[in-house]
Chains A and B, each alone.
Chain A
Amino acid sequence: MTKPEFNKDIIKLKSISKTIEQITTKLKHDVGKVLKRRGAVVGISGGIDSSVTLAIAVKAFGAKNVLGVMLPEKDSNDDSKEFALKLAEKFGVEVLEENISGALEGFECYTRRDEAVKRIIPKFNPAKDKMKIGIPEAFINSNLPPVFFVTVVFEDGSEQSERLPMNEYLQIVAASNFKQRSRMTMLYYHAEARHYAVIGTPNKHEVQQGFFVKFGDGGADVMPIGNLYKTQVYELARELGIPNEIIERTPTTDTYTAEQTQEEFFYQMPFEMMDLLWYGWENNYSAAEVAKVLAKEEVEVEKIYKNFDRKRKTTEYLRLPPIHNY
C-alpha cells in the first residue's frame, strides 16, 4: 500500500465512533478475559486524558463497575476537584477522594524536594514561595540533551531561575515522583479491594516520549488511550460527551507548586504541531515533506526529528518491565 501524501489532517481519525468501539471491545476483553478482573478503577484529575479514559471505561464496563478516584495533595490545583466531580456526575460513576498529602509527608516528599531547591536558591521559603522546574526557551532548540532549571516564584511575584546541577535535579525529580507512585498505590488498593483493574491514563506521547513516572502513572494494568495522539484524544472527548470545561482546559503538570503547562515543562511545542511532527517522524516522512506542509524550515524539522529519536531512546528504561529472563 502506498503511503498517503503528508497533510495536516493525516492524523485525524477516519471514524471516531469506530475507534471508540474498537478500544472499548479490546478493553473489555483485556480486563475481563486476560486479567480476569470485573471492573475498573481510574484516577481522575479533571484533565482530558483521565476524563476520556473514564468515559471509555464506562462504555466498556457500565457505570456501576467503574470507580473514579480523585487523588489531590497539598500542591494540587483546586480546580481539578471541581472538574473531576463534574465528570463523575456526567458519567454516573461512584467517585472517591483520597488526599495523599499525609502519605507524602510520611515519605518526606516535600521536605526532600524543597531541601534540594534551597541548596540552589537559598532564599526559597517553601511556606510562602512557589517553585517549578523546566527547560528555558534558549535551550529548547539546542542539539544538546535538555538541561533543567529550577524557578522560584517569590511571594512578591519576582522570579529567580538557576540551572540545576545533577544531584539537585535528581533529588527534586525523585522526591516529586512520590506523588505519582503514591497515587498508583492508592489506586491499586481500591482495585484489589473490589477485584477491579487499574486503568492507566497516559496517551501516546506520554508513553513514547517518556512523560510518565515508572511505577507511578506508568503503573497500571491497561492503557486504553496509550496509542492515541493528543489530537485524537480530543476527537474522542467530543464524541464521548466530556464536559466542555475539561476539553477547553490547558493541560498542566499539576506537580510543582508554581503553575506550569505540560507544553512548558516537557513538550515545548503546541500539541497539534507535535502530533503532526511525531506522526511524520514515526511514519518515515522526510523532513522536507513535513516542513513544507507545516510551513517550517527543513533544518528545524530535522532537529525536531533528532530530538524525538533521542527522547525515545533515553526513555526506553521507563517503558521496560523488570528484566527477569536470566
Chain B
Amino acid sequence: MKEQIRAFISEITFIDKETITDDVSLFEQGIFDSMGLLSLITFIDEEMGVKTDDGDLTEENFKSINTIVSFLERKKTPAN
C-alpha cells in the first residue's frame, strides 16, 4: 500500500520517489497542496475503495505516507 501511494504522489508531483520518504511531511515540505490532497482523496476512493468523510480530513490522517497508510488501514477495518 505504501509503495502504491508513494508512486501516485511521485506521478502527480514529478518528485522522485526516493525524496518522498515514509514520514516526510507532505504539506510542510511543499510536496502537496490543495490539488494534491484532492487528487489523493480521489485516488484512494477509486483505487482502494476508501471513501474519505469530511471528518477524516485532518493533518493526523494526511500528514505523511505513514499516517495515510494508518488511516487507510483503520478505514478498511470494520469497527467492532
| Contact indicator A166/B38 (Cβ below 8 Å) | yes
Contact indicator B27/A310 (Cβ below 8 Å): yes
Chain B 28-45: CB-based contact to A (< 8 A → 1; otherwise 0):
101011111111011000
Chain A to chain B contacts (Cβ below 8 Å), 24 pairs = A138-B54, A139-B57, A142-B58, A143-B27, A144-B37, A144-B57, A144-B58, A144-B62, A145-B27, A145-B32, A145-B37, A147-B34, A147-B57, A163-B54, A164-B38, A165-B42, A166-B41, A166-B42, A169-B38, A306-B28, A310-B27, A310-B33, A313-B30, A313-B33
Shortest B31–chain A CB gap in Å is 11
Chain B residues contacting A138 (CB-CB under 8 Å) are 54
Cβ-closest chain A residue relative to B34: A145
- Complex CA gap A310/B59 in Å reads 15
CB distance from A279 to the nearest CB of B (A): 23
Q: A62 interface residue, CB < 8 Å from B?
A: no
Q: Contacts A310-B33, A313-B30, A314-B33 hold; do A147 and B59 have CB atoms under 8 A apart?
A: no
- B30 contacts A147, C-beta separation under 8 Å: no
**Residues in chain A within 8 A of chain B (CB atoms):** 138-139, 142-147, 163-167, 169-170, 306, 310, 313-314
Q: Which residues of A sit under 8 angstroms from B28, Cβ to Cβ? A: 306
Query: Top 8 closest A-B pairs, CB basis?
Result: A166-B38, A145-B34, A143-B59, A314-B33, A145-B33, A166-B42, A145-B37, A144-B59
Task: Assess the A166–B35 pair: CB atoms within 8 A.
Answer: yes
User: B27 touching A147 by the CB < 8 A rule?
Assistant: no
Q: Which residues of chain A are within 8 angstroms of B41 by Cβ–Cβ distance? A: 165-166
Docked Cα-Cα span, A124 to B13, in Å, equals 34
Q: What residues of chain A lie closer than 8 Å to B38, measured between beta carbons?
A: 147, 164-166, 169
> Most chain-B Cβ atoms within 10 A of its Cβ — which of A145, A146, A163, A169?
A145
Complex Cα gap A167–B62 (Å): 20
Query: Which chain A residues lie closer than 8 Å to B39 at the CB level?
Result: 166
Residues in chain B within 8 A of chain A (CB atoms): 27-28, 30, 32-39, 41-42, 54, 57-59, 62
CA A146 to CA B62, docked complex, whole Å: 13
CA distance A164 to B38 in the complex (A): 9
For the complex formed, measure the closest distance between the CB of A230 and the CB atoms of chain B, giving whole angstroms: 24
Contacts of B54 in A (CB 8 A): 138, 163
Residue of B nearest to A315 (CB): B33
In the bound assembly, the distance between CA atoms of A100 and B1 in angstroms comes to 50
Report the bound CA distance from A144 to B42 in whole Å.
Answer: 16
Q: How many angstroms between the C-alpha atoms of A191 and B54 in the bound complex? A: 47
Q: Name which residue of chain B comes closest to A135, CB basis.
A: B34
A144 to B55, CA, bound (A): 13
Would you call A144 and B35 a contact (CB within 8 A)? no
Chain B hits for A310, CB < 8 A? 27, 33
Give the distance in Å from the alpha carbon of A66 to the alpha carbon of B39 in the complex.
Answer: 46
- B37 and A147 contacting across the interface, CB-CB below 8 Å: yes
CA distance A145 to B28 in the complex (A): 10
A163 vs B57: C-alpha distance in the bound complex, in angstroms?
Answer: 11
Complex: A121 Cα to B39 Cα, angstroms: 20
Q: Would B30 and A144 count as touching, CB distance under 8 A?
A: no
Question: Which residues of B have CB within 8 Å of A170?
Answer: 35
Chain A residues with CB under 8 A of B30: 313
